[in-house]
A and B are shown apart, each in its own frame.
Chain A
Amino acid sequence: MSAIVQVQQLAKRYMPGDVLAVKGVSFEIQEGEIFSLLGPNGAGKTTTISMLSGLLAPTGGEAAIGGRSILREPLAVKSIIGVVPQEIALYDALSARENLLFWGRMHGMSGKPLQARVDEVLEQIGLRDRAGDRIRTYSGGMKRRVNIGVGLLHRPRLVFMDEPTVGIDPQSRRNILDMVKELNRQGMTVLYTTHYMEEAQELSDRVGIMDHGELIALGTQRELTQMVGEHEALRLHLNEGDSADKVAEAVATVPGVLQASATDHQVVATVAEADEMLAAVITRASEAGARIRTVDIEEPNLETVFLHLTGRALRD
């Protein structure tokens, strides 16, 4: 395998005097893998993708895609990549087919091959029946699928997907995740950004975790969870009205608890062996006034990694 994306010290400052939105990130993406950038909103994921797709000029650093520099050969880079933006960037006065034809031509496609490819993509996104209807009559999930279809039209070697599942129903989301996996199986490299830990976990070969413009961790899921050590997590679901913060503080004082954090009505404690610590944690939590409804024992996951690295939950 060779690196299709090489990013070195890429940085972006929007206005002179502002803080850096992206603070010099470096990573590589190998041909054929699904690489996820995971991080909360505002972590700098979209800015990074925008620089890689030539929309934003980097303030510093360099990146190469398919061996071509994004600074010196932007057009060459753009013909390698496909981009699925976060917002639904389509013309709602046009039909799905017309949108696909338009964007295909923008990628330099034309004639019969374009027609054939549009049919293929329509099939793939499951919208053949309604291809002639205007986009404005579509549901949110259907629009998302066309939005993705446009990015795949010219069979890019590499596709950037920026939070493609934001704000849609579970079934459409399932469809999209399956589509991403299928595309990857066919050989497409995918750069996927998300703030859903589950999506990154399900899809990715490798994950980069971003926070405050920095790439704070990078590796396979296994490598990342090992960073936390062989730790497990105890998740206490509290009654409404209990102060999760207070309980977390109390739980953190239990010997053997490495870390404890609070999210709405939940307290997550990182421990070495969940079975052994269960009783002690519950006792201390009860003493702190918690009325515990259920307790989950969780294997280490990306959420725990994020928690471990930043002391915050992914979705604060």
Chain B
Amino acid sequence: MRKILNIAWKDLISAFREPGVVIMMLVTPFALTLVMGFAFGAFGGGNAGPAGIPMTIVNHDAGEFGQRLVRMLEADGLADLLVVTVLSDDAAARAAVDADQSAAAVIVPADFSEAVVPAGLSQGDTSGLQGAQPVTIELYANPTRPVSAGVVRTVAERFIDVASAQRSAGLVVVGQIVGNRLADPQAMAQQGAAIGHRVGDQVASTSLVRVVGESDAAGQSNFDWLGYMAPSMAILFLMFTVSAGGRTILLERDLGTLPRMLTTPTGAAQVLGGKVLGTYLTGLAQMIILFVASTLLLGVHWGAPAPVAALLLSLVAAGTGWGMLIAAYSKTTGQANAVGTALSLTFGALAGNFVVRDLLPDVLKKASLITPNAWGLDGFKALAAGGTLADVALPIAALWGMAAITFALAVVAFRRQAAQ
């Protein structure tokens, strides 16, 4: 056991002394986590999602609703989201979009207000409503900014909803009073607009239907990018570390230190045990450093310490198994390097280390269960949501199972090589 520890310790020290290894092991995953945190506004309190979207509006409607749309877009409440430029010329607005200075141009037709409240309505003439087709507000979208254009569209549609609610309110109140002969139609028609406004404002500001969220995590409604990406990047780069660990067996063979170890009174099983433990400890050290750094420096919430530790131990074991397997079936260090990197990246892509795992199609989600990455991601997701040891029992069992299988296969190959 002492010799196993001696070998493992030597490997751990050597790994952390290689600048190239440290870059791959610690710097890159941390940098990527930071970048993603920055990209998705995890710092400075901002929520994920677009902000400061440049847009232009051309209002051809002299009526009330066109004006109100412009005022709403320019209102303080949307100041963070939208940067609005008002133009009078359709062509200029489109040109701004084409030049990528604007995410979308909203073009309000001259008859917008008329469509919402036909002129005759206040005289009690409801003919303007009969079979009226809705008018079209054009949204000239910038194809290179689909998400921003989508946001502008949502804002415009919200406004139409409010206008629709106001109009409906006026029509319903007046319609019912007149229909039930509670008051003189002529007098009511004139009040219609005022009632519409009053009721409409009330409708826009209150909601009778409340959706009471019962999120599986405590108080999280927005997607927490950092919370997803910190474990995700750590897992991705753990695979690089363990495959590099396995590769040191081949490296030591070429270097002559492996045969030299076998000339000392040390059994082959002990030597292999030391190499495996060294890889395991290196991977574990990497995960712990990334865990501590992301918790302290980025404020990432991984979950309760005990289950996180249990999951980390299992994850690194499964990863180490894969690292050994790659080494066992590679002939040269170059081969092991290429296969290791390729497998690490492919596992990452399959399991959802690059895109969010939830978005992957089911086939891929199932297929990726052969990777430690997938189980790790599932496990950390459960823990970040406040899960306990019981919630990650399945991932932990699966990871140890994977470790056992990969390690057994690796030993078979190592045996066959030693026999020659």
Contact = CB atoms under 8 A, between A and B. Distances in A.
A106 B256 contact: no
A27 B14 CA distance: 41
A75 B267 contact: yes
A79 B256 contact: no
A94 B260 contact: no
A106 B274 CA distance: 11
Given A75-B267, A107-B265, A108-B265, A83 B260 contact: yes
Interface residues of B, number: 21
Interface string A137-164: 0000000000000100000000000000
Interface stretch (B2-10, B140-148, B164-172): B2-10
B13 interface: yes
B260 A85 contact: yes
Given A83-B263, A108-B265, A91 B2 contact: no
Contact of B14 (A50, A93, A107): A93
Interface stretch (A97-105, A230-238, A252-260, A268-276): A97-105
A93 B259 CA distance: 18
A54 interface: yes
A164 B13 CA distance: 28
A90 B17 CA distance: 15
Nearest to A52: B263
A103 B260 CA distance: 9
Contact of A94 (B2, B14, B259, B265): B14
Nearest to B16: A93
A115 interface: no
Nearest to A94: B14
A78 B265 contact: yes
Interface in B244-296: 255-257, 259-267
Contacts of B265: 75-76, 78-79, 107-108
A54 B261 CA distance: 11
Contact of A89 (B6, B17, B256, B267): B256
Interface string A206-247: 000000000000000000000000000000000000000000
Contacts of B2: 105, 110
A76 B267 CA distance: 11
* Chain A, interface residues (CB within 8 Å), range: 20 to 34
A78 B263 contact: yes
Interface string A181-212: 00000000000000000000000000000000
Nearest to B256: A89
A89 B13 contact: no
B145 to A, nearest CB: 49
A50 B256 CA distance: 12
B358 interface: no
A134 B263 CA distance: 24
Nearest to B267: A75
A85 B259 contact: yes
B3 A55 contact: no
A298 interface: no
Interface string A77-97: 011010101111111011000
B10 A81 contact: no
Interface string A92-136: 011000100011011110100000000000000000000000100
B80 interface: no
Contacts of A79: 265
Nearest to A89: B256
A165 interface: no
A78 B264 contact: yes
Given A102-B10, A105-B3, A105-B6, A91 B257 contact: yes
Given A55-B259, A55-B262, A93 B17 contact: yes
A106 B255 contact: no
Interface in B1-42: 2-3, 6-7, 10, 13-14, 17-18
B355 to A, nearest CB: 37
B10 A94 contact: yes
**Which of B6, B257, B263 has most A Cβ within 10 Å?**
B263
B6 A98 contact: no
A78 B267 CA distance: 10
A63 B156 CA distance: 91
Contact of A54 (B6, B7, B263): B263
14 contacts: A54-B262, A55-B262, A75-B267, A85-B263, A89-B255, A93-B14, A94-B10, A105-B2, A105-B3, A106-B7, A107-B265, A108-B3, A134-B17, A150-B260
| In the A-B complex, the 4 residue pairs with the closest CB atoms | A89-B256, A87-B256, A89-B260, A78-B265
Interface of B: 2-3, 6-7, 10, 13-14, 17-18, 255-257, 259-267
Given A98-B10, A106-B7, 5 more contacts: A75-B267, A78-B263, A94-B17, A106-B6, A107-B265
